[in-house]
Amino acid sequence: MKIKVMAFASFREILGKELDLDIVGEATASGVLAILAVRNKRFKEAAFDESGQIKDYVLLMINRKRIDPRQDLSTRLHDGDELAVFPPVAGG
Amino acid sequence: MLTIEITNEDFSLDELVRKAKRKDAGALVTFLGTVRDDGIERMELEAFREAALPELERIRDEAAAKFNLLSVEVVHRVGSLAVGENIVAIVCAAAHRDEAFRGCRYIIEELKARVPVWKKELSKNGERWVGHE
């Protein structure tokens, strides 16, 4: 299935603005983040702590709806879903 | 009018006030956020536009319902801005000033907490994303 990853701010500088991933079998938010971490060491260092837990400042949206990275990482993704990765917002 | 915009272009606060004015509104409160000189040279603003616009619309609707706002104008800029340039403008019209003040305060505070927009400060010493770890 195809999953579109969108990255913003510091994560855009590491990953690029958009990535299309082809995933065989089931996909979850944590699975996609793990793929990104394997592919990109800077992303791994920015998003995960030494024990492999996602850092508190990493925020996620699936199809433009916020999910809680502490609780909803096992959320199943479907073909065509969009996962957005970004740091805390700072508008205004 | 209940207009929400995210734009690369500068805006006219006078024009926003003109759009927000209504005969039944006795108070218009404006908030204008600008790039502060904290020893920086420029600021770069970035938005997740497809998520930011609906979030701004939700905030506007919440504020309108809570504070009986009669009209709301919100403009947020993105792109590269110099010190002193406009970042964000909010205009709230209500029958009375208390509602207009409270509504305007609500919108800017919720915008800062919820709307997916980011700022990077650029100075002679380097660059820094605002609000990062």
Per-residue pLDDT 10s for chain B (133 aa) are 578 999 999 999 999 999 999 999 999 999 999 999 999 999 999 999 999 999 999 999 999 999 999 999 999 999 999 999 999 999 999 999 999 999 999 999 999 999 999 999 999 999 999 987 5
Q: Which of A61, A64, A87 sits opposite B132 (nearest CB)?
A: A87
> Is residue A69 assigned to a domain?
yes
Topology adopted by domain B2-123: Aldehyde Oxidoreductase; domain 3 (3.90.1170)
> Is residue A34 assigned to a domain?
yes
User: What's the pLDDT score for residue B133?
Assistant: 57
ipTM over 0.90: yes
User: What's the pLDDT score for residue B57?
Assistant: 96
Find the residue in B nearest to A90 (Cα).
Answer: B118
- B130: contact with A, CB 8 A cutoff: yes
Tokens found for residue B60: 């506007």
* Average of per-residue pLDDT across A58-63: 96
From B107, B72, B106, B110, select the one nearest B91 (Cα to Cα). B72
> Is residue A18 assigned to a domain?
yes
Beta-strand ranges (E) seen in B8-70 are 27-34, 42-47
> Is residue A66 assigned to a domain?
yes
- B7: contact with A, CB 8 A cutoff: no
In this predicted model, what pLDDT tens digit does every residue of A5-56 receive, in sequence order?
999 999 999 999 999 999 999 999 999 999 999 999 999 999 999 999 999 9
> Is residue A92 assigned to a domain?
no
The CATH number given to whatever domain includes residue A48 is: 3.10.20.30
Tell me the shortest Cα–Cα distance from B82 to chain A, in angstroms: 15
- Total of domains in chain A: 1
pTM reported for the whole predicted model: 0.94
How do the domains of chain B map onto residue ranges? 2-123
Which residues of A fall below an 8 Å CB-CB distance to B?
A: 6, 8-10, 12, 55-57, 61, 64, 84, 86-92
User: What's the pLDDT score for residue B131?
Assistant: 83
End-to-end, the C-alpha distance of chain A in Å comes to 37
The parent domain of residue A49 ranges over 2-86
Q: Which residues of B75-91 are buried (b: 16+ CB within 10 A; e: fewer)?
A: bbbbeebeeeebbbbbb
- B108: contact with A, CB 8 A cutoff: yes
- B120: contact with A, CB 8 A cutoff: yes
